Structure 1
Amino acid sequence: MADLVETAIKAGNFTILVKAVKAVGLTEVLKSPGSLTIFAPTDDAFAKLPEGSLDALLQDIPKLKKIVAYHVASGDVRSDDLVQIEEAETLEGSILAIESANGAIKVNDANVIQTDILTDNGVIHVIDKVLVPAMVAGGTSS
């Protein structure tokens, strides 16, 4: 098996996420031993962002790093775990709300469209929206 980064690259539909991970310097963290869970927005999810916002984020590395880290949780959290928990702490420091109903799983307001892509050092769950921490979305820093 490959690590989280290699797996995301091979999948082919996470090119923007991989670019963001490299831009903010999280590649080594996501390649390191241990267990992490990535809620990975697809390129289509990034395309749903307002026009120009992705380019703006790529110019604002501290803000982009918060957003990328907000998609990563500690531990190997599989779909079986997701249906049993209500939240997950992210590397960014905030909490993601996990909701499971009628066989569907949501992370904040994003739908999990594929679960349990296993890697050597964790698991990837595919989501259909980019998650933005409230602190970044509100534009305030406190």
Structure 2
Amino acid sequence: MIRFATMTAALALSLTAPAFAENPMVGGAAMYEDKNIVENAVNSADHTTLVAAVKAAGLVDTLSGEGPFTVFAPTNEAFAKLPAGTVETLLKPENKDQLTKILTCHVVGKEVMSDALKGMIMDDNGKHPVPTLGGCTLQASYEGDMIVLEDEMGNKAHVTIADVKQSNGVIHVIDAVMLPKM
């Protein structure tokens, strides 16, 4: 009788409580749908380099704005794959324009969830162009079951954590830095 009552209570709860998909953790931190991209990113231990770059480029207000935005967010490890000294050089004030160009090549001016992107990839026979706010066009495709982005230099990034919902868009964590055509 207790088992039946417990099952009945659980069923009643599942029918009355709204079902929310919980945002994934990023960099050891909870990501909150009611916070914007910058408010969440500053809490990720895996994105300290990205946050420093966003600040140096003067993009905090933009990415805290209304949006919607999709941000392909490279991890600290992704930045570490760049040639030695690259990040330090880009963070210098005299390189702000180049840094801004690189960072905005990771931002799309609308919210694109992974299921929608997968659909666009399928509709375009396996490769879909993704225009960014920085004027770059990334090519989205699949490798196995992972979404892969290719920049204009031929560098590839895998989406390692998808669909991190924000109040002003969505973040997809990636494992490489996307670069504009030089």
Instruction: Please point out which of 77, 90, 107 is paired with 1:44.
Output: 77
Unaligned runs of 5+ in 2: 1-33, 121-127, 151-155
Q: Deviations over 1:64-97 (max 9, x none)?
A: 0100100001111001012122121111012111
* Greater strand content: 1
Question: Are 1:88 and 2:130 counterparts?
Answer: yes
Equivalent residue, structure 1, for 2:102:
67
Q: Normalising to structure 1: TM-score of the pair?
A: 0.91
Question: What is the TM-score normalised by the length of structure 2?
Answer: 0.71
Secondary structure of the equivalent of 1:13? helix
Q: Give the Å deviation of 1:5.
A: 0.5
Quote the Cα distance in structure 1 between the aligned partners of 2:180 and 2:42.
Answer: 25
| Equivalent residue letter for 1:73 | V
What RMSD in Å do the two structures reach over aligned CA positions? 1.0
Residue matched to 2:139: 97
Distance 1:84 1:27 in 2: 31
Paired position in structure 2 for 1:126: 173
Larger deviation, residues 93-102 vs 66-75: 93-102
Could you say which structure has the larger radius of gyration?
2
Aligned identity (percent) is 41
* 1:35–1:121 contact (8 Å) kept in structure 2: yes
CA contact (8 A) 1:110 1:129 kept: yes
CA contact (8 A) 1:82 1:100 kept: no
Q: Match of 1:45, SS?
A: helix
CA contact (8 A) 1:36 1:73 kept: yes
Distance in 2 between residues matched to 1:11 and 1:53, nearest whole Å? 22
> 3-state SS of the aligned residue for 1:131?
coil
Q: Measure the CA separation in 1 of the matches of 2:98 and 2:45.
A: 25
> CA contact under 8 A between 1:41 and 1:130: conserved in structure 2?
yes
1:19 is aligned to 2:27: no
How far the C-alpha of 1:101 sits from its partner, in A, is 4.3
